[in-house]
Amino acid sequence: MTALLDLDLGLDAAGMLWASAVIFAAAFARGYSGFGFSAILMGGLVSYIPAYQLVPLSIALEVIASSGQARGIFYHINKRYLILLLVAGFIGNPFGVYLLGAMSETVLRVSIYLTILLASTILLLGTGRSWSPSTSVLILAGLLAGIVNGATALSGLVLALFFASTAVPSATMRATMIAYFFFTDIWTGGFLAAAGNFEIQTIQRIIVVLPILGLGIWLGSRRFLATPPESFRTYVLWMLLCLCIFGVGQMVSQI
């Protein structure tokens, strides 16, 4: 308990201000769309906090965010979609881990960012999005998301792009993604905890940023409720474009 009270966040005042801004932006995006938290957090803070510390921080905050949103989304979750995506994702995850070991992570990330940029642009320029996902398509999407998650942790972008291209209602799309991330992050967090990745400093950071996380999610959720359903997919696609451009920019700046 004494160690928890003796705060050492590993950031100076400027770093804390920037981290607070990034977490608020990530939480707002999560509250609004149901995804994007990890992509914004990792992209915005990787220059300040080592990746091996950011991953458990992100996973823990994602679980807390999903728990806080549970009551508002429960009745909108499509259980069939969720189960198929989770099972297929767990199967695909080891293949992604293999790719990460066999290929450069930079190549993998850039390939995924560029693919999503191209697909999002095509969807924004197009008009017809009336198809409903079949069982086989859901399994394929889950496998792909699992592979991408194992290789790059960018499964949220893949799932958001998949749902944005379908006729799935906005509330169902958002709620199912939130539930998906809750279960996958519990799964991943268990492995991280068993490996000892949740250090005292990480736990302190989680506790300190909880008010910022809560405020961002609350405001993002209110924004979602105020957004017309027919406009939600357009906002999601623009968000995907911005996240991908941001991600590529972060990688180029580190070369």
Give the separation between CA 253 and CA 236, rounded to whole angstroms: 25
Work out the average pLDDT over 95-113: 81
With contact defined as beta carbons under 8 Å apart, do 168 and 78 qualify? yes
Structure tokens belonging to residue 140: 């394929």
Summarize pLDDT for 179-217 with one digit per residue, the tens: 998 998 888 888 888 888 888 988 999 999 999 999 999
- Reported as a single tens digit per residue, the pLDDT across 108-130 is 888 888 888 888 888 888 755 56
Q: pLDDT tens digits, residue range 146-174?
A: 888 888 778 888 999 999 889 899 999 99
The domain limits of the chain are 2-253
Q: Within 13 Å and on the Cβ side, how many CA atoms surround 182?
A: 19
Q: Give this prediction's pTM.
A: 0.84
Residue 96: which pLDDT band, with cuts at 50, 70 and 90?
A: confident
pLDDT at residue 87 in the model: 95
* Structure confidence at residue 23 (pLDDT): 94
